[in-house]
């Protein structure tokens, strides 16, 4: 018992207790002065929560914008990092190549470095006259001013075919106070730079997971399917991928949990700018509490984010559930 006591104490005091305290604070209007657990702090009930959903105002506007931004972030990052990780693992695993260890190391290295340090490097690369734009320039493409460009990529594409403003039907107010035109903007150009960074840093870890799973697959099945005359593609589609189901499950779950929490990169690279298009719920929660001193509101945002993560994970479990053959 004595052996577990320190861990139980630390985790209890610094993980469990704080969650309960924050739940309480999310029901109050505490502004950071004094202790939040005295009678002087106004109790506001569920106001901090309802303001995010039902009241037309800046709080809801910002929160829904952050949800939209993060939604596009998740929709692009999770499939891309999973596909890239799988592709790299398949190439490293299958071919009779030399230097496997080198390539594995190279792909994994970005994952172990500091998120802050690597964000600094990407800030430089995506600067207006930075490496990415020089590279684009070499192909005759005039690169955008990445971190100053708040245009949504869907809007940019629509602009290219001549649609510059919202069609009348889409200018109306959509769900939760944002117009349909805003909901359907796509990620901003600035967000795309952060998306590129995150895909680049996380793919390596997931590649290792796929690689470990591939190396544990029984070899007999490979031989059997080759004898049956399956070609490479059929073999991959009907033999290898179904066996990787548990790994897919793990990678997608970790991907979803991770992408809904994106914070460090936002803090270093954009602080939610330009025009709030890189604002995410995690950063909004931080900003609300520590910059605007509305701790109750900030805590409420973080609990809603928690529920979103739980809901997304359950939803994905349900999508990927084992379907019984009928």
Partner 1 sequence: MRPRALVNTFVGYAILVFFALVFLYPFVIQIGNSFKTESDAAASPLSPIPDSVSLDGFERIFEGTSFPIWLGNSVLVAVVITAGRVLLDSMAGYALARLRFPGRQAIFASIIALLAVPGVVLLIPKFLVLNQLGIYDSYTALILPLIADAAGVFIMKQFFESVPVSIEEAARIDGAGVFRRYWSVVLPMARPALITLTILSFQGSWNEFTHTLVAVQNPNLFTLPRGLADLVSGSLGSGTQYPLKLGAALLATIPVAIIFVVFQRYFVRGATEGADKG
Residues 227-286 that bind partner 1 (CB under 8 A): 246-247, 249-250, 254, 257, 260-261, 263-264, 267-268, 271, 282, 285-286
Q: Is residue 326 close enough to count as binding partner 1 by CB under 8 A?
A: no
**By C-beta, is 7 or 169 nearer to partner 1?**
7
- Give the whole-angstrom CA distance, residue 154 versus residue 37: 47
Instruction: Indicate which single residue of 73, 147, 181, 295 sits in contact with partner 1 (rule: CB under 8 A).
Output: 295
Instruction: Indicate which single residue of 306, 312, 316, 320 sits in contact with partner 1 (rule: CB under 8 A).
Output: 306
**By C-beta, is 52 or 123 nearer to partner 1?**
123
Only one of the segments 75-83, 130-138, 141-149, 219-227 lies at the binding site for partner 1 (rule: CB under 8 A); that segment is: 130-138
Instruction: Indicate which single residue of 29, 110, 174, 177 sits in contact with partner 1 (rule: CB under 8 A).
Output: 110
Cβ pair 77, 255 in contact under 8 A: yes
Cβ pair 39, 18 in contact under 8 A: no
The two structure tokens encoding residue 20:
């309960």
**By C-beta, is 4 or 168 nearer to partner 1?**
4
DSSP assignment of 227-264 equals HTT--HHHHIIIIIHHHTHHHHHHHHHHHHHHHTT--H
Cβ pair 84, 199 in contact under 8 A: yes
Q: Is residue 302 close enough to count as binding partner 1 by CB under 8 A?
A: yes
DSSP assignment of 178-209 equals -BHHHHTS-SBHHHHHHHHHHHHHHHHHHHHH
**By C-beta, is 189 or 208 nearer to partner 1?**
208
- Give the whole-angstrom CA distance, residue 141 versus residue 27: 52
- Nearest-5° Cα angle at 138, 133 to 140: 90
**By C-beta, is 250 or 275 nearer to partner 1?**
250
Restricting to residues 7-46, name those near partner 1 by CB under 8 A. Answer: 7-8, 10-11, 13-19, 21-22, 25, 35-37
Q: Is residue 97 close enough to count as binding partner 1 by CB under 8 A?
A: yes
- Give the whole-angstrom CA distance, residue 101 versus residue 93: 11
SS3 90: helix
The two structure tokens encoding residue 23:
């739940």
Instruction: Indicate which single residue of 71, 103, 154, 217 sits in contact with partner 1 (rule: CB under 8 A).
Output: 103
Residue at token pair 């025009």: 275
Q: Is residue 66 close enough to count as binding partner 1 by CB under 8 A?
A: no
Instruction: Indicate which single residue of 33, 39, 45, 96 sits in contact with partner 1 (rule: CB under 8 A).
Output: 96
Minimum Å distance from CB 155 to partner 1? 28
Q: What is the x/- site pattern for partner 1, positions 158-197, by CB under 8 A?
A: ----------------------------------------
With CB under 8 A as the rule, give the number of residues binding partner 1.
97
Instruction: Indicate which single residue of 33, 129, 220, 326 sits in contact with partner 1 (rule: CB under 8 A).
Output: 129
Which distant-in-sequence residues (6+ apart) come within 8 Å of 66 by Cβ? 272, 276, 279, 280, 281, 283, 284
Instruction: Indicate which single residue of 91, 173, 226, 311 sits in contact with partner 1 (rule: CB under 8 A).
Output: 91
The two structure tokens encoding residue 181:
């035109």
Minimum Å distance from CB 6 to partner 1? 5
Tally Cβ neighbours within 10 Å of residue 123: 18
Sign for the pseudo-dihedral over CA of 199, 305, 256, 68? negative
DSSP state of 322: P
**By C-beta, is 110 or 177 nearer to partner 1?**
110
């Amino acid at each position: 018992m004595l052996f577990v006591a320190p861990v139980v104490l630390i985790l209890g005091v610094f993980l469990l207790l704080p969650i309960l305290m924050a739940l309480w604070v999310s029901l109050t209007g505490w502004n950071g002065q004094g202790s939040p657990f005295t009678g002087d702090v106004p109790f506001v009930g569920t106001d901090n929560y309802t303001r995010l959903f039902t009241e037309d105002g800046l709080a809801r506007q910002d929160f829904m914008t952050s949800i939209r931004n993060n939604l596009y972030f998740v929709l692009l990052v999770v499939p891309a990092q999973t596909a890239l990780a799988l592709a790299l693992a398949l190439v490293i695993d299958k071919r009779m190549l030399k230097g496997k260890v080198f390539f594995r190391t190279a792909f994994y290295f970005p994952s172990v470095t500091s998120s802050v340090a690597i964000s600094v490097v990407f800030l430089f690369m995506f600067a207006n006259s930075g490496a990415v734009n020089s590279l684009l320039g070499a192909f005759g493409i005039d690169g955008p001013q990445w971190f100053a460009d708040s245009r949504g990529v869907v809007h940019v594409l629509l602009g290219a075919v001549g649609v510059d403003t919202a069609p009348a039907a889409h200018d109306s107010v959509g769900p939760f106070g944002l117009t349909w035109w805003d909901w359907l903007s796509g990620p901003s150009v600035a967000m795309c730079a952060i998306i590129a960074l995150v895909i680049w840093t996380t793919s390596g870890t997931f590649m290792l997971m796929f690689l470990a799973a591939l190396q544990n697959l029984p070899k007999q099945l490979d031989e059997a399917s080759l004898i049956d005359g399956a070609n490479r593609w059929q073999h991959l589609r009907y033999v290898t991928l179904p066996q990787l189901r548990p790994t897919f499950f793990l990678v997608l779950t970790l991907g979803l949990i991770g992408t809904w929490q994106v914070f460090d990169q936002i803090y270093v690279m954009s602080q939610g700018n330009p025009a709030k298009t890189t604002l995410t719920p995690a950063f909004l929660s931080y900003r609300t509490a520590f910059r605007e001193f509305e701790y109750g509101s900030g805590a409420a945002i973080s609990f809603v984010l928690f529920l979103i993560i739980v809901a997304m994970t359950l939803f994905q479990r349900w999508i990927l559930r084992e379907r019984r053959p009928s």
